[in-house]
Amino acid sequence: MRAVRILNRSIRDSFKSVFRNLSLSTASIACTTITLILVAISLFLSYNVREVTNTLEHELTIVVYLKKEVTKEEKNKIESDLKTMPNVDSYKIKTKDEWKAEMKKESDTLEITLEYLEENPLLDSVIVTVKDVKDLKVTAEKIRQYDFVSSAEYGEGMVENIIGIFDAVSIGTFGIVIALVLVTAFLISNTIKLTIFSRKTQIEIKRLVGASNTAIKLPFIFEGFILGILGSIIPIIISIYGYTVLYNQTGGYVFTKIITLVRPFPFVFIVSGFLVLVGSCVGMLGSWRAVRKYLKI
Amino acid sequence: MKLIKVEHAYKIYKNGTTAVADLSVSIDKGEFVFVIGSTGSGKSTFIKMLYREEKPTKGNVIVGGINVAKLRNSKVYKLRRKLGVVFQDFKLLPKLNVYENVAFALETLGLPNEEIRPKVIKAIESVGLKEKMRSLPSELSGGEQQRVAIARAIVNEPRLLICDEPTGNLDPETSKEIMKILDKINKESETTIIMATHDKELVNRMKKRVLVIENGVLVSDTKKGSYKVHESSKDSK
Ligand SMILES: Nc1ncnc2c1ncn2[C@@H]1O[C@H](COP(=O)(O)OP(=O)(O)OP(=O)(O)O)[C@@H](O)[C@H]1O
Ligand SMILES: [Mg+2]
Protein backbone atom coordinates (compact mmCIF):
# COMPACT_ATOMS: atom_id res chain seq x y z
CA MET A 1 0.00 0.00 0.00
CA ARG A 2 2.77 2.35 1.01
CA ALA A 3 4.55 1.59 -2.26
CA VAL A 4 1.38 2.25 -4.24
CA ARG A 5 0.95 5.64 -2.58
CA ILE A 6 4.57 6.55 -3.26
CA LEU A 7 4.04 5.51 -6.88
CA ASN A 8 0.87 7.59 -7.14
CA ARG A 9 2.49 10.66 -5.68
CA SER A 10 5.52 10.22 -7.93
CA ILE A 11 3.35 10.11 -11.03
CA ARG A 12 1.46 13.20 -9.89
CA ASP A 13 4.77 14.98 -9.33
CA SER A 14 6.00 13.97 -12.77
CA PHE A 15 2.92 15.34 -14.48
CA LYS A 16 3.24 18.62 -12.61
CA SER A 17 6.82 18.87 -13.72
CA VAL A 18 6.02 18.15 -17.37
CA PHE A 19 3.62 21.10 -17.38
CA ARG A 20 5.84 23.36 -15.32
CA ASN A 21 8.72 23.15 -17.85
CA LEU A 22 6.30 23.34 -20.72
CA SER A 23 8.65 24.69 -23.38
CA LEU A 24 11.32 22.08 -22.75
CA SER A 25 8.76 19.32 -22.42
CA THR A 26 7.25 20.37 -25.73
CA ALA A 27 10.64 20.21 -27.42
CA SER A 28 11.21 16.72 -26.04
CA ILE A 29 7.76 15.59 -27.06
CA ALA A 30 8.19 17.02 -30.57
CA CYS A 31 11.50 15.24 -30.98
CA THR A 32 9.97 11.98 -29.80
CA THR A 33 7.10 12.51 -32.23
CA ILE A 34 9.40 12.96 -35.22
CA THR A 35 11.47 9.95 -34.24
CA LEU A 36 8.44 7.76 -33.82
CA ILE A 37 6.93 8.84 -37.13
CA LEU A 38 10.14 7.65 -38.75
CA VAL A 39 10.03 4.46 -36.73
CA ALA A 40 6.50 3.91 -38.03
CA ILE A 41 7.53 4.56 -41.63
CA SER A 42 10.45 2.19 -41.41
CA LEU A 43 8.22 -0.43 -39.82
CA PHE A 44 5.64 -0.13 -42.59
CA LEU A 45 8.36 -0.24 -45.20
CA SER A 46 10.32 -3.16 -43.89
CA TYR A 47 7.23 -5.20 -43.13
CA ASN A 48 5.80 -4.61 -46.59
CA VAL A 49 9.09 -5.38 -48.24
CA ARG A 50 9.14 -8.70 -46.48
CA GLU A 51 5.65 -9.32 -47.79
CA VAL A 52 6.74 -8.36 -51.30
CA THR A 53 9.65 -10.75 -51.16
CA ASN A 54 7.33 -13.49 -50.01
CA THR A 55 4.91 -12.78 -52.81
CA LEU A 56 7.68 -12.74 -55.38
CA GLU A 57 9.02 -15.99 -54.09
CA HIS A 58 5.68 -17.55 -54.68
CA GLU A 59 4.84 -15.98 -57.95
CA LEU A 60 8.06 -15.46 -59.77
CA THR A 61 8.62 -17.68 -62.72
CA ILE A 62 11.19 -18.25 -65.45
CA VAL A 63 9.74 -18.62 -68.89
CA VAL A 64 11.93 -20.98 -70.90
CA TYR A 65 11.40 -20.80 -74.68
CA LEU A 66 12.54 -23.83 -76.59
CA LYS A 67 13.98 -23.55 -80.08
CA LYS A 68 11.71 -24.24 -83.01
CA GLU A 69 13.60 -27.40 -84.00
CA VAL A 70 13.44 -28.96 -80.54
CA THR A 71 12.97 -32.73 -80.55
CA LYS A 72 10.75 -34.90 -78.44
CA GLU A 73 13.82 -36.39 -76.65
CA GLU A 74 15.13 -32.96 -75.82
CA LYS A 75 11.79 -31.99 -74.34
CA ASN A 76 11.85 -35.10 -72.18
CA LYS A 77 15.42 -34.34 -71.14
CA ILE A 78 14.68 -30.86 -69.92
CA GLU A 79 11.63 -32.10 -68.04
CA SER A 80 13.61 -34.74 -66.20
CA ASP A 81 16.48 -32.30 -65.56
CA LEU A 82 14.17 -29.70 -64.12
CA LYS A 83 12.93 -32.30 -61.64
CA THR A 84 16.44 -32.67 -60.25
CA MET A 85 17.34 -28.96 -60.04
CA PRO A 86 17.34 -27.96 -56.37
CA ASN A 87 15.89 -24.49 -56.83
CA VAL A 88 13.04 -25.56 -59.06
CA ASP A 89 9.77 -25.76 -57.24
CA SER A 90 7.53 -26.80 -60.11
CA TYR A 91 7.16 -26.40 -63.86
CA LYS A 92 4.49 -26.34 -66.44
CA ILE A 93 4.64 -26.97 -70.13
CA LYS A 94 3.03 -24.29 -72.24
CA THR A 95 2.88 -25.17 -75.91
CA LYS A 96 2.95 -22.70 -78.78
CA ASP A 97 -0.71 -23.39 -79.41
CA GLU A 98 -1.56 -22.43 -75.88
CA TRP A 99 0.39 -19.21 -76.34
CA LYS A 100 -1.42 -18.53 -79.54
CA ALA A 101 -4.80 -18.96 -77.91
CA GLU A 102 -3.82 -16.66 -75.09
CA MET A 103 -2.46 -13.96 -77.39
CA LYS A 104 -5.48 -14.03 -79.61
CA LYS A 105 -7.60 -13.24 -76.64
CA GLU A 106 -5.38 -10.31 -75.68
CA SER A 107 -5.81 -8.17 -78.78
CA ASP A 108 -7.67 -8.08 -82.04
CA THR A 109 -4.64 -7.07 -84.10
CA LEU A 110 -2.73 -10.05 -82.81
CA GLU A 111 -5.63 -12.32 -83.59
CA ILE A 112 -5.75 -11.15 -87.20
CA THR A 113 -2.00 -11.44 -87.63
CA LEU A 114 -1.84 -14.91 -86.13
CA GLU A 115 -4.75 -16.12 -88.25
CA TYR A 116 -3.08 -14.74 -91.37
CA LEU A 117 0.10 -16.72 -90.77
CA GLU A 118 -0.14 -20.31 -91.81
CA GLU A 119 2.42 -21.58 -89.40
CA ASN A 120 2.40 -20.72 -85.70
CA PRO A 121 5.44 -18.45 -85.25
CA LEU A 122 5.46 -18.90 -81.51
CA LEU A 123 7.65 -21.24 -79.47
CA ASP A 124 6.96 -24.08 -77.11
CA SER A 125 7.88 -23.19 -73.56
CA VAL A 126 8.26 -24.40 -70.00
CA ILE A 127 7.21 -22.17 -67.15
CA VAL A 128 9.40 -22.78 -64.13
CA THR A 129 8.55 -21.70 -60.60
CA VAL A 130 11.54 -21.36 -58.29
CA LYS A 131 11.88 -21.96 -54.58
CA ASP A 132 14.26 -19.11 -53.73
CA VAL A 133 13.97 -15.88 -55.65
CA LYS A 134 17.55 -14.93 -54.77
CA ASP A 135 18.91 -17.82 -56.83
CA LEU A 136 16.65 -16.99 -59.74
CA LYS A 137 19.49 -15.70 -61.84
CA VAL A 138 21.66 -18.78 -61.30
CA THR A 139 18.81 -21.10 -62.19
CA ALA A 140 17.99 -19.16 -65.33
CA GLU A 141 21.68 -19.26 -66.38
CA LYS A 142 21.74 -23.01 -65.91
CA ILE A 143 18.71 -23.48 -68.10
CA ARG A 144 20.21 -21.26 -70.82
CA GLN A 145 23.10 -23.73 -71.16
CA TYR A 146 20.98 -26.17 -73.17
CA ASP A 147 21.44 -25.92 -76.98
CA PHE A 148 17.77 -26.33 -77.61
CA VAL A 149 16.79 -23.51 -75.27
CA SER A 150 16.16 -20.32 -77.17
CA SER A 151 15.86 -18.10 -74.10
CA ALA A 152 15.05 -18.18 -70.40
CA GLU A 153 13.41 -14.98 -69.25
CA TYR A 154 12.30 -13.59 -65.98
CA GLY A 155 11.69 -10.06 -64.72
CA GLU A 156 15.43 -9.67 -65.06
CA GLY A 157 16.93 -6.82 -63.07
CA MET A 158 13.53 -5.42 -62.15
CA VAL A 159 12.92 -7.79 -59.28
CA GLU A 160 16.39 -7.48 -57.88
CA ASN A 161 16.20 -3.72 -58.21
CA ILE A 162 12.95 -3.43 -56.35
CA ILE A 163 14.20 -5.58 -53.52
CA GLY A 164 17.51 -3.76 -53.52
CA ILE A 165 15.86 -0.36 -53.30
CA PHE A 166 13.57 -1.48 -50.52
CA ASP A 167 16.49 -2.96 -48.63
CA ALA A 168 18.52 0.23 -48.96
CA VAL A 169 15.59 2.36 -47.86
CA SER A 170 14.98 0.11 -44.87
CA ILE A 171 18.60 0.21 -43.79
CA GLY A 172 18.73 3.96 -44.35
CA THR A 173 15.64 4.66 -42.25
CA PHE A 174 16.87 2.28 -39.60
CA GLY A 175 20.12 4.26 -39.35
CA ILE A 176 18.24 7.55 -39.14
CA VAL A 177 15.91 6.10 -36.52
CA ILE A 178 18.83 4.99 -34.34
CA ALA A 179 20.41 8.44 -34.60
CA LEU A 180 17.09 10.14 -33.80
CA VAL A 181 16.48 7.84 -30.85
CA LEU A 182 19.81 8.91 -29.40
CA VAL A 183 19.12 12.60 -30.01
CA THR A 184 15.69 12.27 -28.42
CA ALA A 185 17.02 10.42 -25.39
CA PHE A 186 19.61 13.16 -24.99
CA LEU A 187 17.00 15.90 -25.21
CA ILE A 188 14.76 14.20 -22.69
CA SER A 189 17.73 13.66 -20.43
CA ASN A 190 18.41 17.39 -20.63
CA THR A 191 14.83 18.21 -19.69
CA ILE A 192 15.02 15.91 -16.69
CA LYS A 193 18.36 17.40 -15.73
CA LEU A 194 16.74 20.80 -15.41
CA THR A 195 13.94 19.32 -13.32
CA ILE A 196 16.52 17.75 -11.05
CA PHE A 197 18.31 21.07 -10.66
CA SER A 198 15.11 22.98 -10.01
CA ARG A 199 14.17 20.47 -7.33
CA LYS A 200 17.42 20.46 -5.42
CA THR A 201 15.86 21.48 -2.11
CA GLN A 202 13.04 19.04 -2.54
CA ILE A 203 15.45 16.18 -3.17
CA GLU A 204 17.53 17.23 -0.16
CA ILE A 205 14.49 17.27 2.10
CA LYS A 206 13.25 13.93 0.82
CA ARG A 207 16.60 12.44 1.58
CA LEU A 208 16.62 14.03 5.04
CA VAL A 209 13.21 12.77 6.07
CA GLY A 210 14.05 9.22 5.03
CA ALA A 211 12.81 8.62 1.50
CA SER A 212 14.50 5.64 -0.10
CA ASN A 213 16.74 6.26 -3.10
CA THR A 214 14.20 4.59 -5.36
CA ALA A 215 11.41 6.81 -4.08
CA ILE A 216 13.55 9.87 -4.78
CA LYS A 217 14.41 8.77 -8.32
CA LEU A 218 10.95 7.58 -9.30
CA PRO A 219 9.36 10.95 -10.24
CA PHE A 220 12.20 11.69 -12.65
CA ILE A 221 12.02 8.29 -14.30
CA PHE A 222 8.27 8.76 -14.69
CA GLU A 223 8.78 12.18 -16.20
CA GLY A 224 10.81 10.66 -19.04
CA PHE A 225 8.24 7.92 -19.40
CA ILE A 226 5.41 10.46 -19.67
CA LEU A 227 7.31 12.53 -22.24
CA GLY A 228 7.85 9.38 -24.31
CA ILE A 229 4.19 8.38 -24.11
CA LEU A 230 2.98 11.88 -25.00
CA GLY A 231 5.40 11.85 -27.94
CA SER A 232 3.86 8.67 -29.31
CA ILE A 233 0.30 9.99 -29.58
CA ILE A 234 0.61 11.79 -32.93
CA PRO A 235 2.66 9.01 -34.59
CA ILE A 236 0.01 6.50 -33.54
CA ILE A 237 -2.80 8.59 -35.00
CA ILE A 238 -0.81 9.05 -38.20
CA SER A 239 -0.08 5.33 -38.41
CA ILE A 240 -3.62 4.21 -37.93
CA TYR A 241 -5.29 6.77 -40.17
CA GLY A 242 -2.46 7.26 -42.64
CA TYR A 243 -1.91 3.62 -43.38
CA THR A 244 -5.58 2.79 -43.56
CA VAL A 245 -6.17 5.65 -45.98
CA LEU A 246 -3.15 4.65 -48.08
CA TYR A 247 -4.38 1.08 -48.20
CA ASN A 248 -7.89 2.07 -49.20
CA GLN A 249 -6.77 4.64 -51.78
CA THR A 250 -4.41 2.24 -53.56
CA GLY A 251 -6.62 -0.78 -53.10
CA GLY A 252 -3.68 -2.45 -51.44
CA TYR A 253 -1.45 -2.40 -54.54
CA VAL A 254 1.60 -0.24 -55.16
CA PHE A 255 3.11 0.21 -58.69
CA THR A 256 2.02 -3.12 -60.04
CA LYS A 257 0.17 -6.09 -58.81
CA ILE A 258 3.41 -7.62 -57.59
CA ILE A 259 3.50 -5.41 -54.52
CA THR A 260 0.54 -5.87 -52.26
CA LEU A 261 0.30 -3.97 -48.99
CA VAL A 262 -0.23 -5.73 -45.69
CA ARG A 263 -3.85 -5.45 -44.60
CA PRO A 264 -4.18 -2.56 -42.11
CA PHE A 265 -5.87 -4.46 -39.30
CA PRO A 266 -4.51 -5.62 -36.95
CA PHE A 267 -1.20 -4.51 -38.43
CA VAL A 268 -1.58 -0.81 -37.47
CA PHE A 269 -2.39 -1.77 -33.88
CA ILE A 270 0.73 -3.88 -33.61
CA VAL A 271 2.73 -0.95 -34.99
CA SER A 272 1.02 1.41 -32.50
CA GLY A 273 1.88 -0.87 -29.61
CA PHE A 274 5.44 -0.92 -30.78
CA LEU A 275 5.51 2.90 -31.01
CA VAL A 276 4.32 3.27 -27.41
CA LEU A 277 6.97 0.80 -26.36
CA VAL A 278 9.75 2.61 -28.22
CA GLY A 279 8.53 6.01 -26.97
CA SER A 280 8.43 5.01 -23.34
CA CYS A 281 11.77 3.23 -23.58
CA VAL A 282 13.43 6.26 -25.15
CA GLY A 283 11.91 8.45 -22.41
CA MET A 284 13.11 6.23 -19.64
CA LEU A 285 16.52 5.87 -21.25
CA GLY A 286 16.80 9.67 -21.17
CA SER A 287 15.66 10.02 -17.58
CA TRP A 288 17.83 7.13 -16.46
CA ARG A 289 20.84 8.90 -17.90
CA ALA A 290 19.93 12.19 -16.20
CA VAL A 291 19.29 10.52 -12.86
CA ARG A 292 22.58 8.65 -13.02
CA LYS A 293 24.51 11.71 -13.99
CA TYR A 294 22.91 14.50 -12.03
CA LEU A 295 21.04 13.02 -9.10
CA LYS A 296 23.78 12.46 -6.57
CA ILE A 297 22.36 10.92 -3.45
CA MET B 1 19.62 3.35 27.53
CA LYS B 2 22.19 4.83 25.21
CA LEU B 3 20.66 6.32 22.10
CA ILE B 4 23.97 7.47 20.67
CA LYS B 5 27.34 5.88 21.10
CA VAL B 6 30.36 7.40 19.39
CA GLU B 7 33.61 5.46 19.73
CA HIS B 8 36.92 6.92 18.59
CA ALA B 9 35.35 8.53 15.59
CA TYR B 10 37.48 10.36 13.02
CA LYS B 11 36.47 12.38 10.04
CA ILE B 12 39.19 13.23 7.57
CA TYR B 13 37.85 15.01 4.49
CA LYS B 14 39.11 14.15 1.03
CA ASN B 15 41.27 17.27 0.97
CA GLY B 16 43.11 16.05 4.06
CA THR B 17 41.39 18.23 6.69
CA THR B 18 40.89 16.36 9.94
CA ALA B 19 37.55 17.78 11.10
CA VAL B 20 36.90 15.32 13.95
CA ALA B 21 39.58 13.32 15.74
CA ASP B 22 39.22 10.43 18.16
CA LEU B 23 35.86 11.58 19.45
CA SER B 24 34.06 9.34 21.96
CA VAL B 25 30.77 10.20 23.64
CA SER B 26 27.53 8.55 24.76
CA ILE B 27 24.16 10.23 24.87
CA ASP B 28 21.11 8.82 26.68
CA LYS B 29 17.56 8.74 25.51
CA GLY B 30 15.80 11.98 26.41
CA GLU B 31 18.91 14.10 26.92
CA PHE B 32 19.35 17.69 25.72
CA VAL B 33 22.92 18.28 24.61
CA PHE B 34 24.64 21.42 23.31
CA VAL B 35 27.64 21.12 21.06
CA ILE B 36 29.76 24.26 21.15
CA GLY B 37 33.15 25.35 19.87
CA SER B 38 34.67 28.10 17.79
CA THR B 39 34.02 28.30 14.08
CA GLY B 40 35.61 25.50 12.07
CA SER B 41 36.08 23.36 15.18
CA GLY B 42 34.10 20.45 13.76
CA LYS B 43 30.62 20.80 15.30
CA SER B 44 28.76 20.43 12.03
CA THR B 45 30.97 17.54 10.98
CA PHE B 46 30.24 15.72 14.23
CA ILE B 47 26.53 16.32 13.80
CA LYS B 48 26.59 15.28 10.13
CA MET B 49 28.07 11.94 11.12
CA LEU B 50 25.10 11.34 13.41
CA TYR B 51 22.66 11.47 10.50
CA ARG B 52 25.10 10.00 8.02
CA GLU B 53 25.52 13.06 5.86
CA GLU B 54 29.21 12.32 6.33
CA LYS B 55 30.59 8.83 6.87
CA PRO B 56 33.13 8.49 9.68
CA THR B 57 36.60 7.79 8.31
CA LYS B 58 37.41 5.63 11.33
CA GLY B 59 35.65 4.46 14.50
CA ASN B 60 32.03 3.72 15.25
CA VAL B 61 29.03 6.01 15.35
CA ILE B 62 25.99 4.11 16.57
CA VAL B 63 22.65 5.89 16.47
CA GLY B 64 19.50 4.10 17.62
CA GLY B 65 21.19 0.74 17.14
CA ILE B 66 22.44 1.50 13.61
CA ASN B 67 26.18 1.70 13.02
CA VAL B 68 26.47 4.69 10.75
CA ALA B 69 30.04 3.82 9.79
CA LYS B 70 28.86 0.57 8.23
CA LEU B 71 25.59 1.86 6.79
CA ARG B 72 25.38 1.52 3.04
CA ASN B 73 24.25 4.50 1.01
CA SER B 74 21.10 2.74 -0.13
CA LYS B 75 20.09 2.08 3.50
CA VAL B 76 20.59 5.60 4.85
CA TYR B 77 16.84 6.19 4.77
CA LYS B 78 16.37 3.68 7.60
CA LEU B 79 18.43 5.89 9.88
CA ARG B 80 16.82 9.10 8.68
CA ARG B 81 13.36 7.86 9.56
CA LYS B 82 14.40 7.64 13.20
CA LEU B 83 15.51 11.25 13.45
CA GLY B 84 14.69 14.82 12.50
CA VAL B 85 17.11 17.53 11.41
CA VAL B 86 16.84 21.32 11.64
CA PHE B 87 19.24 23.77 10.01
CA GLN B 88 20.17 27.41 10.23
CA ASP B 89 18.60 28.00 6.80
CA PHE B 90 15.19 26.34 7.41
CA LYS B 91 15.15 24.54 4.01
CA LEU B 92 11.44 25.04 3.38
CA LEU B 93 9.82 24.58 -0.02
CA PRO B 94 8.84 28.13 -1.09
CA LYS B 95 5.77 27.17 -3.12
CA LEU B 96 4.17 25.06 -0.41
CA ASN B 97 2.30 26.53 2.54
CA VAL B 98 3.01 25.67 6.16
CA TYR B 99 0.70 22.67 6.21
CA GLU B 100 2.03 21.32 2.92
CA ASN B 101 5.65 21.79 3.96
CA VAL B 102 5.12 19.70 7.08
CA ALA B 103 2.95 17.14 5.28
CA PHE B 104 5.59 16.78 2.58
CA ALA B 105 7.77 14.71 4.92
CA LEU B 106 5.03 12.16 5.49
CA GLU B 107 3.77 12.14 1.89
CA THR B 108 7.28 11.32 0.76
CA LEU B 109 7.25 8.30 3.06
CA GLY B 110 4.00 7.07 1.54
CA LEU B 111 1.70 7.53 4.54
CA PRO B 112 -2.01 7.62 3.76
CA ASN B 113 -3.62 11.06 3.77
CA GLU B 114 -5.97 10.28 6.64
CA GLU B 115 -2.95 9.44 8.80
CA ILE B 116 -0.98 12.46 7.62
CA ARG B 117 -3.57 15.08 8.55
CA PRO B 118 -3.79 14.59 12.33
CA LYS B 119 -0.02 14.19 12.63
CA VAL B 120 0.68 17.39 10.71
CA ILE B 121 -1.85 19.40 12.70
CA LYS B 122 -0.42 18.10 15.96
CA ALA B 123 3.12 19.06 14.92
CA ILE B 124 2.06 22.52 13.77
CA GLU B 125 0.17 23.08 17.02
CA SER B 126 3.17 22.06 19.07
CA VAL B 127 5.23 24.85 17.47
CA GLY B 128 2.34 27.30 17.90
CA LEU B 129 1.62 28.00 14.22
CA LYS B 130 -1.95 26.80 13.95
CA GLU B 131 -3.14 30.23 12.84
CA LYS B 132 -0.64 30.38 9.95
CA MET B 133 -1.24 26.92 8.51
CA ARG B 134 -2.14 28.30 5.05
CA SER B 135 0.65 30.87 4.83
CA LEU B 136 3.57 30.54 2.45
CA PRO B 137 7.11 30.66 3.89
CA SER B 138 7.62 34.08 2.27
CA GLU B 139 4.78 35.40 4.40
CA LEU B 140 6.41 34.29 7.66
CA SER B 141 9.10 35.77 9.91
CA GLY B 142 12.41 33.98 10.32
CA GLY B 143 11.36 32.58 13.68
CA GLU B 144 8.10 31.32 12.26
CA GLN B 145 9.88 29.69 9.35
CA GLN B 146 12.20 27.91 11.76
CA ARG B 147 9.17 26.69 13.69
CA VAL B 148 7.78 25.20 10.48
CA ALA B 149 11.11 23.44 9.95
CA ILE B 150 10.94 22.09 13.51
CA ALA B 151 7.38 20.90 12.96
CA ARG B 152 8.52 19.08 9.84
CA ALA B 153 11.42 17.50 11.72
CA ILE B 154 9.21 16.16 14.52
CA VAL B 155 6.10 15.25 12.53
CA ASN B 156 7.15 11.63 12.25
CA GLU B 157 7.80 11.52 16.02
CA PRO B 158 11.51 10.80 15.88
CA ARG B 159 13.50 9.74 18.92
CA LEU B 160 16.28 12.15 18.06
CA LEU B 161 16.20 15.77 16.93
CA ILE B 162 19.42 17.15 15.51
CA CYS B 163 19.80 20.94 15.21
CA ASP B 164 22.74 22.66 13.56
CA GLU B 165 22.68 26.29 14.71
CA PRO B 166 18.89 26.58 14.52
CA THR B 167 19.02 30.10 15.96
CA GLY B 168 21.98 31.23 13.87
CA ASN B 169 19.84 33.51 11.70
CA LEU B 170 17.51 34.75 14.44
CA ASP B 171 17.53 37.65 16.86
CA PRO B 172 17.85 36.94 20.64
CA GLU B 173 14.12 37.24 21.36
CA THR B 174 13.14 34.87 18.56
CA SER B 175 15.94 32.50 19.57
CA LYS B 176 14.43 32.35 23.04
CA GLU B 177 11.08 31.30 21.58
CA ILE B 178 12.73 28.59 19.51
CA MET B 179 14.57 27.31 22.59
CA LYS B 180 11.29 27.19 24.51
CA ILE B 181 9.79 25.04 21.80
CA LEU B 182 12.80 22.72 21.68
CA ASP B 183 12.79 22.43 25.48
CA LYS B 184 9.11 21.57 25.43
CA ILE B 185 9.61 18.90 22.73
CA ASN B 186 12.48 17.45 24.76
CA LYS B 187 10.44 17.29 27.97
CA GLU B 188 7.04 16.28 26.62
CA SER B 189 7.96 13.52 24.21
CA GLU B 190 11.37 12.51 25.63
CA THR B 191 12.91 13.36 22.29
CA THR B 192 16.68 13.49 22.52
CA ILE B 193 17.97 16.82 21.24
CA ILE B 194 21.48 17.59 20.05
CA MET B 195 22.10 21.19 19.12
CA ALA B 196 25.20 22.91 17.79
CA THR B 197 25.35 26.62 18.56
CA HIS B 198 27.47 29.74 18.94
CA ASP B 199 25.06 31.50 21.25
CA LYS B 200 26.70 31.93 24.65
CA GLU B 201 23.77 33.42 26.50
CA LEU B 202 21.45 30.76 25.27
CA VAL B 203 23.70 27.94 26.47
CA ASN B 204 24.27 29.59 29.83
CA ARG B 205 20.58 30.13 30.40
CA MET B 206 19.47 26.59 29.54
CA LYS B 207 21.83 24.73 31.87
CA LYS B 208 22.01 21.55 29.85
CA ARG B 209 24.81 19.13 29.07
CA VAL B 210 27.53 20.83 27.03
CA LEU B 211 30.08 19.20 24.72
CA VAL B 212 32.97 21.43 23.74
CA ILE B 213 34.80 20.61 20.54
CA GLU B 214 38.05 22.32 19.59
CA ASN B 215 40.01 21.44 16.45
CA GLY B 216 37.90 18.33 16.07
CA VAL B 217 38.69 17.07 19.57
CA LEU B 218 36.15 16.76 22.39
CA VAL B 219 37.81 18.90 25.08
CA SER B 220 35.07 18.89 27.70
CA ASP B 221 31.74 17.28 28.52
CA THR B 222 29.83 18.78 31.45
CA LYS B 223 26.38 18.26 32.90
CA LYS B 224 24.46 21.52 33.37
CA GLY B 225 27.39 23.21 31.72
CA SER B 226 27.81 26.73 30.48
CA TYR B 227 29.83 28.57 27.90
CA LYS B 228 32.26 29.57 30.67
CA VAL B 229 33.66 26.06 30.76
CA HIS B 230 34.47 26.55 27.14
CA GLU B 231 36.10 29.93 27.71
CA SER B 232 38.21 28.76 30.65
CA SER B 233 39.33 25.63 28.84
CA LYS B 234 40.47 27.89 26.07
CA ASP B 235 42.27 30.27 28.46
CA SER B 236 44.14 27.48 30.17
CA LYS B 237 45.72 26.42 26.89
N1 LIG C 1 33.16 19.00 2.81
C2 LIG C 1 34.32 19.41 3.38
N3 LIG C 1 35.48 19.18 2.76
C4 LIG C 1 36.64 19.56 3.30
N5 LIG C 1 36.76 20.18 4.48
C6 LIG C 1 35.63 20.46 5.16
C7 LIG C 1 34.35 20.09 4.64
N8 LIG C 1 33.40 20.49 5.53
C9 LIG C 1 34.07 21.06 6.52
N10 LIG C 1 35.40 21.06 6.32
C11 LIG C 1 36.42 21.55 7.21
O12 LIG C 1 36.34 20.83 8.43
C13 LIG C 1 36.51 21.66 9.54
C14 LIG C 1 35.29 21.59 10.44
O15 LIG C 1 34.19 22.16 9.78
P16 LIG C 1 32.76 22.22 10.44
O17 LIG C 1 31.82 22.70 9.41
O18 LIG C 1 32.47 20.90 11.05
O19 LIG C 1 32.97 23.30 11.56
P20 LIG C 1 31.89 24.00 12.51
O21 LIG C 1 32.36 23.80 13.90
O22 LIG C 1 30.53 23.54 12.19
O23 LIG C 1 32.04 25.52 12.10
P24 LIG C 1 30.93 26.69 12.16
O25 LIG C 1 30.80 27.05 13.60
O26 LIG C 1 31.54 27.78 11.39
O27 LIG C 1 29.70 26.14 11.57
C28 LIG C 1 36.76 23.05 8.98
O29 LIG C 1 38.15 23.25 8.95
C30 LIG C 1 36.21 23.01 7.60
O31 LIG C 1 36.92 23.84 6.74
MG1 LIG D 1 28.76 24.41 11.41
Say if residue B10 is in the same domain as residue B121.
no
Q: Which residues pair with B196 in a beta bridge?
A: B35, B164
Q: Are A69 and A123 in contact (CB under 8 A)?
A: no
Say if residue B147 is in the same domain as residue B50.
no
Say if residue B76 is in the same domain as residue B164.
yes
Report d(CA A285, CA A241) in Å as an integer.
Answer: 29
State how far residue A3 is from chain B, nearest Cα, in angstroms: 7
Q: Are B202 and B171 in contact (CB under 8 A)?
A: no
Is the whole model's pTM more than 0.90, yes or no?
no
Q: Are B154 and B191 in contact (CB under 8 A)?
A: yes
Distance (Å) of CA B98 to CA B7, B101, B164: 39, 5, 21
Q: Where in the sequence is the domain holding B232, given as residue range(s)? A: 2-82+159-236
Kindly give the confidence (pLDDT) of every residue in chain B, 237 residues in length, as a single tens digit, with 9 standing for 90 and above: 689 999 999 999 999 999 999 999 999 999 999 999 999 999 999 999 999 999 999 999 999 999 999 999 999 999 999 999 999 999 999 999 999 999 999 999 999 999 999 999 999 999 999 999 999 999 999 999 999 999 999 999 999 999 999 999 999 999 999 999 999 999 999 999 999 998 888 998 999 999 999 999 999 998 877 766 555 554 443
On whether residue B98 sits in a domain, the answer given is: yes
Interchain contact A213–B (C-beta under 8 A)? yes
Domains of chain A, start order: 2-56+161-294 (no CATH), 61-153 (3.30.70.3040)
10 Å Cβ neighbour count for B17? 12
Q: What angle do CA B185, B187, B192 make, to 5 degrees?
A: 70
Say if residue B74 is in the same domain as residue B189.
yes
Whole-number pLDDT of residue A177 = 84
Ligand 1 pocket check for B43: Cβ under 6 Å: yes
What is residue B138's DSSP assignment? G
Whole-number pLDDT of residue A156 = 58
Q: Which residues of chain A have pLDDT under 70?
A: 50, 52-59, 155-160, 162-163, 254-259
CB-based burial of residue B224 (10 Å sphere; 0-12 exposed, 13-18 middle, 19+ buried)? exposed
B108 to A2: CB separation less than 8 angstroms, yes or no: no
Report which of A223, A219, A197 is spatially closest to residue A295, judged by C-alpha positions.
A197
ipTM: 0.91
Q: Please give the order of strands across the beta sheet that includes A88-94.
A: A88-94, A125-130, A61-66, A149-153
Interchain contact A207–B (C-beta under 8 A)? yes
Whole-number pLDDT of residue B236 = 41
Ligand 1 pocket: which of B12, B43, B198 to mutate (most atoms within 8 A of CB): B43
Rounded to the nearest angstrom, the gap between the alpha carbon of residue B97 and the centroid of all alpha carbons in its chain is 23
On whether residue B27 sits in a domain, the answer given is: yes
Sequence-distant (≥ 6) Cβ neighbours of residue B191 within 8 angstroms:
B30, B154, B158, B159, B160, B161, B185
